[in-house]
Amino acid sequence: MSGVPAARATPAGGVAASWDRHAKGSTQHVRSIAGQQPITAYLRYRTTMQQQMAFSSSVRGTALPAKPRASNGAARARLAVRGQSQQAPRSVQTSGAATAEAVTNGIVTSPLFRLSYDTDNEHPDLTRSWKKTMKIAVTGAAGQISNHLLFMLASGEVFGRDQPVALQLLGSERSREALEGVAMELEDSLYPLLREVKLGIDAHKVFEDADWALLIGAKPRGPGMERSALLDINGQIFQEQARALNEVASRDCKMLVVGNPCNTNALIGIHNAPDLPARNWHALTRLDENRAKCQLAIKAGKFYTSVTNVAIWGNHSTTQVPDFLNAKIGGVRVPNVIRDQQWLKEEFTPKVANRGGALIKKWGRSSAASTAVSIADHLRSLYTPTAPGDCFSTAVYTAGNPYGLDEDLVFSMPCRSNGDGNYEVINDFVIDDWLRDKLQESEAELQKERDCVGHLIPGASKAVCAITEDTMLPGEN
């Protein structure tokens, strides 16, 4: 049994498997819940290479899984035509003792996810065609949006049925137990592609080697809070997280900022992560795009699958510009389908920008599910070749942009992808005078937001906050 660390007792040296609760550099990793049931810390068990190799070789001897998740279509089909090996796995009776010892030591480790499963060696017929595990860090992981998104990520519907994932979840001291609950639910969902779940409250630990960082967590604006105060509070969070990413994430880590004000948070991120490519930062405007498509479909009396090439320009705020000029319905430009110019110019944008608020009024809470869907859409758009003549919207860094916009902003623009995870800004969208004016309004708002967070941007002049109008974020009103 010595080669099977899966359920082993904690080595004398102490296994660094625990909530990453301590500041970077701390060597203390113990969470004391002695006496409680040995459930759920779901942490990455940092085995030595030797242990991993030993584990892999023990797994190599086990039988195939008889029934992968039905949804895993391709892998499932492959398995269906192969026989099942009936070779006995090694018995692993140490688990009971190990669990007890782990609790005795005050360390609650995940019995299931604590190993980094070696997909090259485990169940080779299932995993042979799998890609290298993608490490996805998620902040605000105990929140409502994540409660939808994490299951989408784990199911394979976002990154594909051949893409195993590791989830690295950042919570807070306050959300610790909730985060453990989320991990339990992920465990109970038996997603074959979910190979590792790591929980923590220290960004320097949680972001380690991340390929994606989905930055969802942010403070909502409290009653009476100035927008400048919100910019400052959330800006500090994103400054700190960007520094952590800069130090520990994969050198090609991609970032998607969802926490508001997301454009400016992403800009702060770019300037505080100088070693990561600026173009790898995104701020989410896909929900706005989806809502815009929906409203155009409603107005035209068409189903939304007919609506294409819809760009959201600018800030994820009420100054956003859903672009009806370049949008198409059934392949025809929208102004030739919806001839109600007054509606297009005056009602359409508020309908999109205020949809979140309308939903809160109905629903009593914010639109977590459709936000998660739009995050999934955003990610999928980067890993699927964009259809000819279509686009997707994402707020990205403006350096070198083809539309003459201020080159130091995060601004939503129409993009396309060849499916490799990267994007290019589409450079031939028609900009008429009306659209130009609207783009400049949103640009001016983002410049003001940037001025307000100068103290969070290395090398920038001191913050001068000139935001007077109290522009709202979608959903705030």
- In the bound state with a second copy, the residue whose beta carbon lies nearer, of 267 and 287, is 287
The amino acid present at 99, given as its one-letter code, is: T
Closest separation between CB of residue 139 and a second copy, Å? 18
Q: How far apart are the first and last CA of the chain?
A: 61
Shortest separation between residue 223's beta carbon and a second copy, angstroms: 23
8 A C-beta contact, residue 417 and residue 385: yes
Closer residue to a second copy in complex, CB, 205/299: 299
CB 393 within 8 A of CB 288: yes
316 annotated active-site = yes
The catalytically annotated residue of 29, 123, 282, 316 is: 316
Q: Whole-angstrom Cα distance, residue 371 to residue 259?
A: 11
Tracing tokens 């989410």 back to the chain, one arrives at 284
Q: How far is the CB of 127 from a second copy (least distance, A)?
A: 9
Tally of CB atoms within 10 A around 260: 23
Least separation in angstroms between residue 10's CB and a second copy is: 14
Residue 271 DSSP SS3: helix
> Any idea which residue has 């002695």 for tokens?
34
Q: How far is the CB of 474 from a second copy (least distance, A)?
A: 12
With respect to a second copy, which residue has the nearer C-beta, 254 or 291?
Answer: 291
Residue 79 or 248 having the CB closest to a second copy: 79
Q: What are the E-state strand segments in 149-229?
A: 165-170, 194-200, 212-215
The least distance separating a second copy from the CB of residue 12, rounded to whole angstroms, comes to 20
- How far, in Å, CA of 321 to CA of 395, rounded? 12
With b for 16 or more beta-carbon neighbours within 10 A and e for fewer, the 327-341 pattern comes to: bbbeeeebeebbeee
Which lies closer to a second copy via its Cβ, residue 95 or residue 129?
95
Select 185 or 424, whichever has its Cβ closest to a second copy.
Answer: 185
Residue 326 CA to residue 392 CA, distance in Å, equals: 12
234 token code pair = 């959330």
- Say how many C-beta atoms besides its own lie within 10 A of residue 388's C-beta: 6
Three-class SS state of 431? coil
Q: What angle do CA 468, 469, 470 make, to 5 degrees?
A: 110
Q: Catalytic positions, please?
A: 316
